[in-house]
């Protein structure tokens, strides 16, 4: 393992804003994130598959009256997000290293107020449908962890995943799609919020080559 990566893993083990396997808090904070992890018991937003944490940190910067968690399985990515948050002096943001499939082990029922899914792996093969982060399997998990009427967002560059998500939501009883667009940035600035306008480096690269960014906002109950 490269020395730099090893050092970052070592850093993660000592950073209080990162929860990962091996730390005593891991799988112990369910139902108590607001009171035992964050300084203030604000509403809690989770980004599933946060990558380098650009979106999670961007949200935390824009909304100091809310708490934000970024979830990803890659320790080096989380290190980058944690480092960026520290450089900005943010105290309303943290990171969890784990797979999305195990969300129920980390969060209590109704503990989350909002979920963002930003540029996930589209899993284009049919055999991987159940692994898509907007599949019925994951939607049922999100519903369990969200407060009643909790809000969800998907941003993606992938047309196939976007259309699959819309079809899945349309077939799911009790689901309300509040807004969707196949080209977010073709709209005027007045038509989308600061949160929707946050751009990751990955997103910027796709926009630079003319790939439209798709977005859908919905509630499961």
Residue 147 annotated as part of some ligand binding site? no
Q: Find the catalytic residue in 36, 121, 128, 183.
A: 121
3-state secondary structure 149-205: EEEEEEEECCHHHHHHHHHHHHCCCCCEEEEEECCHHHCCHHHCCHHHHCCCHHHHH
- From CA 79, how far away is CA 18, in angstroms rounded? 8
Residue 17 annotated as part of some ligand binding site? no
The encoded tokens of residue 27 equal: 């799988």
Give catalytic status of residue 11 as yes or no. Answer: no
Residue 202 annotated as part of some ligand binding site? yes
C-alpha dist (Å) from residue 50 to 91, 96, 97: 18, 10, 10
Report helix, strand or coil for 71: strand
Residue 11 annotated as part of some ligand binding site? no
Residue 72 annotated as part of some ligand binding site? yes
- From CA 95, how far away is CA 72, in angstroms rounded? 8
Residue 83 annotated as part of some ligand binding site? no
Residues annotated in the binding site, as ranges? 47, 72, 121, 157, 200-203
Residues belonging to the active site: 121
Residues annotated in the binding site for substrate, as ranges? 157, 200-203
Residues annotated in the binding site for S-adenosyl-L-methionine, as ranges? 47, 72, 121
């Amino acid at each position: 393992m490269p020395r730099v990566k090893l050092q970052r893993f070592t850093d993660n083990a000592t950073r209080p804003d990162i929860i990962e396997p091996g730390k005593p808090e891991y799988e112990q904070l369910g139902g108590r994130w607001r009171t035992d992890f964050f300084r203030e018991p604000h509403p809690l937003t989770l980004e599933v598959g946060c990558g380098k944490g650009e979106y999670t940190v961007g949200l935390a910067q824009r909304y100091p009256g809310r708490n934000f968690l970024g979830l990803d399985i890659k320790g080096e990515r989380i290190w980058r997000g944690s480092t960026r948050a520290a450089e900005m002096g943010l105290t309303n943001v943290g990171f969890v290293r784990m797979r999305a499939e195990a969300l129920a082990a980390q969060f209590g029922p109704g503990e989350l107020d909002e979920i963002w899914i930003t540029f996930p792996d589209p899993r284009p093969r049919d055999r991987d449908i159940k692994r898509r982060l907007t599949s019925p399997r994951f939607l049922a998990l999100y519903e369990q962890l969200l407060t009643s009427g909790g809000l969800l967002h998907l941003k993606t560059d992938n047309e196939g995943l976007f259309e699959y998500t819309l079809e899945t939501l349309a077939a799911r009883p009790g689901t309300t799609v509040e807004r969707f667009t196949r080209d977010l940035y073709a709209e005027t600035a007045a038509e989308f919020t600061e949160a929707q306008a946050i751009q990751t480096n990955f997103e910027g690269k796709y926009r630079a080559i003319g790939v439209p960014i798709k977005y859908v906002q919905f509630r499961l109950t």
